[in-house]
């Protein structure tokens, strides 16, 4: 892999660090775009609009200070490392605050049970971390190579940063702190993935060799400590992601099995299962058909036979009205 030059370092510093005579202008740009992205993301989640949420992903500037942390660690630039960390933490808090505030103007709770945008961001799994690792690697490579920097908008869409923060604020305002923790885990895993893969990519490009000679030795302690913190952060998100993955997988298996048993039970009585959904530890089955209703006790017997005796299954039976047609 061809290493980077000092010109590349200068270019990346100009892209990621808030320094120099135009520092205030760049700061104002960051906060303006972040606030607007927070409003757009919140509106997209509330309206359950995927297109609007994608728009917020493209506008959001949070990827810049996250990659700034990576560059500052590799270059052992303590001042810019502190600035970048502050921008990430403060920026995340601002977006959560915006969503929480705007949530007060929504007359109904914005939670996973009624909103697909929320539901897709409160139960992250290990596969989400794998996707984030790959996306973070693409972002770091696009930063290092100016000839493929046009892929950054795609990276912004693939990595979910601002939407989970909007979900945190909305679910906290809606009284669903458990869902807010799930969205926080998704945000944290994405940040950890970008940092980890960014460090690896910069090491592959031998960016350390381009750093100033005075910092190569003086900043070894800072670099080692920073890499250790990033590694700990990555491990810290892997554990709950594994637990959540196992829970989601087990719930999915139970849901599929319940659906198969319920369909057989309902069809024997001339009924149809129209929906099977999971709500925490409970499986909800909706069925419709003519009178008489099928016997729920028979369904329970069949579920026990399928090894699901300990599963909480709730059945909703809706009679299908029969309207005679005059001849």
At 20-32, the pLDDT tens digits run: 888 899 999 999 9
Burial 230-249 (b: 16+ CB within 10 A, else e): beebbeebeeebeebbeeee
Confidence category of residue 141, pLDDT binned at 50, 70, 90: confident
What is the model's pLDDT at position 222?
81
pLDDT of 321 strictly over 70? no
Confidence category of residue 212, pLDDT binned at 50, 70, 90: low
What is the model's pLDDT at position 150?
59
What is the model's pLDDT at position 217?
54
What is the model's pLDDT at position 244?
86
pLDDT of 325 strictly over 60? no
Q: What digits encode the pLDDT tens for the residues 103-138? A: 999 999 999 989 999 999 998 999 999 988 988 888
What is the model's pLDDT at position 162?
95
pLDDT of 102 strictly over 60? yes
- Note if the bond before 292 is cis, omega within 30 degrees: yes
Tokens found for residue 41: 């993301």
Query: Of the ranges 74-83, 170-179, 247-256, 314-323, which is most confident?
Result: 170-179
What is the model's pLDDT at position 211?
65
pLDDT of 232 strictly over 90? yes
Contact in structure between 234 and 122 (CB atoms under 8 Å): no
Q: What digits encode the pLDDT tens for the residues 144-177? A: 887 766 566 666 666 779 999 999 999 999 999 9
* Helix, strand, coil abundance in the chain, percent, nearest 5: 70, 5, 25
**In the chain, what percentage of residues exceed pLDDT 70?**
90
Confidence category of residue 19, pLDDT binned at 50, 70, 90: confident
| Location of structure tokens 């030795």 | 217
Q: What digits encode the pLDDT tens for the residues 33-71? A: 999 999 999 999 999 999 999 999 988 899 999 999 999
What is the maximum alpha-carbon separation in the chain?
97
């Amino acid at each position: 892999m061809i290493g980077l030059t000092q010109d590349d370092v200068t270019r990346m510093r100009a892209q990621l660090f808030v320094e120099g005579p135009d520092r205030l202008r760049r700061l104002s740009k960051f906060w303006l775009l972040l606030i607007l992205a927070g409003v757009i993301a919140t509106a997209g989640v509330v309206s359950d609009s995927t297109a609007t949420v994608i728009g917020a992903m493209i506008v959001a500037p949070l990827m810049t200070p996250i990659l700034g942390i990576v560059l500052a660690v590799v270059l052992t630039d303590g001042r810019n490392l502190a600035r970048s960390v502050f921008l990430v933490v403060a920026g995340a808090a601002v977006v959560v605050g915006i969503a929480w505030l705007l949530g007060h103007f929504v007359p109904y709770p914005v939670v996973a049970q009624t909103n697909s945008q929320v539901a897709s961001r409160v139960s992250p799994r290990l596969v989400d971390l794998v996707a984030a690792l790959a996306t973070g690697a693409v972002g770091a490579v696009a930063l290092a190579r100016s000839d493929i920097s046009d892929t950054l908008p795609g990276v912004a869409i693939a990595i979910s940063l601002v939407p989970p923060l909007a979900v945190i604020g909305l679910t906290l305002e809606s009284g669903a702190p458990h869902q807010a923790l799930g969205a926080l885990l998704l945000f944290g895993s994405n940040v950890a993935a970008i940092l980890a893969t960014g460090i690896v990519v910069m090491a592959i490009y031998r960016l350390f060799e381009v750093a100033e000679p005075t910092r190569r030795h003086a900043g070894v302690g800072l670099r080692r400590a920073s890499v250790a913190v990033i590694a700990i952060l990555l491990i810290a998100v892997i554990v709950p992601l594994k637990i959540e993955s196992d829970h989601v997988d087990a719930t999915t298996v139970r849901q599929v099995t319940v659906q198969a048993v319920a369909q057989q039970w309902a069809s024997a009585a001339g009924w149809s299962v129209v929906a099977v959904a999971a709500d925490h530890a409970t499986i909800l089955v909706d069925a419709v058909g003519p009178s008489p209703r099928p016997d729920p006790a028979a369904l329970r017997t069949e579920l026990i036979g399928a090894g699901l005796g300990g599963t909480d299954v709730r059945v909703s039976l809706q009679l299908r009205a029969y309207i005679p047609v005059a001849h």
